[in-house]
A and B are shown apart, each in its own frame.
Chain A
Amino acid sequence: MATHIPFDQVHAPEEIGDKTQRKLWLEVLHEWVTTVDHKKIGMMYIGYALVFLLVAGVEALLMRIQLAVPNNSFVSPEVFNGLFTMHGTTMVFFVGMPILFGFGNYLIPLMIGARDMAFPRLNAFSFWISAFGGILLYYSYIGGSGLYGAGSAPDVGWFAYAPLTAKVFSPGHSTDYWTLSLLLTGIGTIGTALNIVATIISMRCPGMKMSRLPLLPWLYLVTSGLTFVAVGPLTAAQIMLMLDRYLGSHFFDTQAGGSAVLWMHFFWIFGHPEVYILVLPAFAFANEIIPVFSRKAIFGYPAMVAASVGIGFVSLSVWAHHMFTVGLGAAENTFFVLATMAIAVPTGIKIFNWLATLWGGKIQFTSSMMFAIAFLFQFLIAGLTGIMLSVAPFDWQLGNSYFVVAHFHYVLVGAILFMLFSAFYYWYPKMTGRMLSEKLGKWHFWLFLIGFHLTFDFMHIPGLLGMPRRIYTYEADRGWMIWNMIISSGAVVQAVATLLFVYNMVWSYFKGPEAGPDPWDAWTLEWSTPSPPPSYNFAETPEVSSRRPLWDLKHPDDPDTDYEIGPSHRKRAKEESA
């Protein structure tokens, strides 16, 4: 049987095997660089994000060493400014988004029974332009000049408030590196989002109606929609900032009639939906992993879809809760307080449904599931501190304190990173054909859990005691030292756990037991392909009749079609009653 796929996806290992070692590597390199295969692009996204994760992790460690004791001068204040700017920018733009888009790229066509993304070439372009954005950002360490000429990397914070970014306060090119790299990665992000939407809308296999679409593609659809709306304002703001810096316009120059608050609005119109752009894919992983390891179908599929769409909409109207301390006025504050609180409702529905999925299930405590369970509880705590901060008077007291830092790290690490680790343990066998070591996985989980709680539970306390974020050092009499020491110790434990995870991935790639096509006895279409899947994904286009097509295949006596309430079910019920 022969079929046609884009010509860059040639997959002929037996031919490569006959050639010399040098040629093999060149061919492999050429194949990866020129590929338009969604799986390879997905893995490149993930690989490049992991590299940046390690880099940003090292930056975090350096900051924690600096803050571990009072009056420390482990790094200079200028370097410290660069560290927190690069850490934040890298984690959001060059770790979070690429790694989540990487998983989406890899999984969505497989889960909907398609052979590739809708626009494979655009897919490759989007990856590479995002990657070059990251490289450009870090090139600033070599080629840039920073605040007052003291450093080289961008050092204006990851949200780069005006007027700090004005030429007079940020001479040289350090801020330009930040702006340009975000512009580049923004192009890639929109390209990938476009691809995801087009793929899900138009390339689903026969029988896969939207009501049968697995929840992962559903949530990526919402995420991509959010990306369209959110990244535009950021890109616009970057262009305006470039006009200010290069051509002398005054969009953000308050002394010349511009507005610094305008930048804040532009940035946070992007910035808060961005949180949901990052967390919705984490929810998507939970939607796939928790049911499989609970041996139950997801509880409340329609409610989960509705809640995801609801979160998408509400998240677009909460951005100014980042700006309570600006003094927006009572009416604006009230609106954004209420909108922020309202988002807890669909989020609460999700948590309830995950718990209901676990309830009465035959839970398998694999490494993947343990990370997912930890995610559930940590995300709940992160949500609760978010509700606290959504109350304007509370935010006036604790805005820009370490309490805020603890809150958003609880979301980004406690929820998103934990769910990413869970996803790695779950889909690594599909991507590589090898199982990750469960023993190392459990070590990784417990160490990371302990490290996480040491760091981020205790980080709330110095925040409550008044420690501001981005502070370079502090006096010994503030009473913050013991808390900072604990926080820094936790960071080291997390670093050790992460190294263990990296070791596990490398070791398992070569020595891990073979996975087979479906090691978890799962139910979605990606598990019906060999591990790793061939370049064409499916030799024959699959056809589905329920949300869990593999369940139907495995249990023809008891298919999901009999249980899923929908038009076809109602029709059959009517026929029965007739």
Chain B
Amino acid sequence: MVLALGVALLLTGMVTSIVVSILGVLLTFLASVGWFRQVLPDEAHQPVEVHAEPVPVFTSRRLAAKLPEDVTSRKIIPVETFRITTGIRGGLAGGVAMAAPAALYGWVKYHSIWYAVNLLAAGGFVSWIGASNAFLSEFHLRGLLAALVIHGLTSLLVGLLYGAMLPMFPRYPIVTAGVMAPLLLTGILHSAIDVISPILNQRIDWFWFVVSQIAFGLVCGFVVNLQAKVRTPQFQALPFSIRAGIHSDIHDRLHDEAADTNGEDTSR
């Protein structure tokens, strides 16, 4: 405390009086000497009595038990899932597929495959906000690079999302990835695009946008589903009999266990 007071007074003197700073220097010196003497050559200690009284350990719950399982239980964490690289591959493949309808749209409407590229990039360039269609139809290296970064990153992230989510909807992967997800994403973007990129909002053709989204979803979902799943650490936690394939029905097994512990507190 004395050292802190000394340093504080030293600086306080700058807004009050030199006398205060001098006092601060004095206190800082004295406190530094005191501190050094306490810790050098050996740190000063003082014995203190320790009361080794046992602290009671109790719990408000009764015995723990495993949750009774059934097929709808949420306790089973997936034992198999996709690798993270699966999402990346799917995203990149989807991104390439998405470029085709986008380029086709530019070609059909403006006779230039660069229109969609520049339109995407325009969100990042303030000076392009009022650009003409002719300008956006020309090739611009800056636009291509910006669009590549925006499109690449977005495709990657959406691909990762697909990789993570597709195992959750195993029944109709093509419908989920190729129709539901693109429509959902389009809806979200439709409501938010004005904030993200006003120029894109002014000129976007939603029909072609949905087409390119579906192209992305179908290809990304297809590539993700092609990849082999890997076992999660959760798999290691399963009993040996299940991991070895001796006991294949985990639900039956847990039901049996639950029956033994019925009535006990199951929270964990």
Contact = CB atoms under 8 A, between A and B. Distances in A.
Interface of A: 1-12, 33-34, 121, 124-125, 127-129, 131-133, 135-136, 139-140, 143-144, 173, 176-177, 180, 183-184, 187-188, 242, 246, 295-297, 330, 333-334, 338, 359-362, 388, 391, 393-394, 516-518, 521, 528-530, 534-536, 539-540, 550, 553-555, 557-558, 563, 565, 569-570, 573, 576-577
Counting from the closest, the 5 A-B pairs by CB-CB distance are A7-B46, A128-B4, A132-B8, A129-B4, A539-B52
The bracket for how many chain B residues form the interface is: 35 or more
Contacts of B19: none
A2 B46 CA distance: 11
B39 interface: yes
Interface string B120-131: 000011110000
Contacts of B59: 521, 554-555
A121 B195 CA distance: 53
A356 to B, nearest CB: 10
B84 to A, nearest CB: 13
B135 to A, nearest CB: 16
Interface stretch (B9-17, B89-97, B98-106): B9-17
B171 interface: no
User: Chain A at the B interface: mostly helix, strand, loop or mixed?
Assistant: helix
A81 to B, nearest CB: 19
B57 A554 contact: yes
B64 A2 contact: no
Given A180-B15, A521-B60, A539-B50, 5 more contacts: A5-B48, A7-B44, A334-B124, A394-B195, A517-B56
B244 interface: yes
Contacts of A338: 153
B40 interface: no
User: Looking at A131, A296, A391, A573, which has the most chain B CB atoms within 10 Å of its CB?
Assistant: A573
A369 to B, nearest CB: 15
Interface string B31-75: 000010011000111111111110111111101110000000010
Contacts of A132: 4-5, 7-8
A4 B8 contact: no
Contact of A557 (B1, B16, B63): B63
A528 B58 CA distance: 10
B268 interface: yes
Nearest to A539: B52
Contacts of B53: 530, 539
A10 to B, nearest CB: 6
Contact of A143 (B4, B15, B52): B15
A9 B35 CA distance: 16
Contact of A536 (B48, B56, B198): B48
Contact of A128 (B5, B43, B51, B243): B5
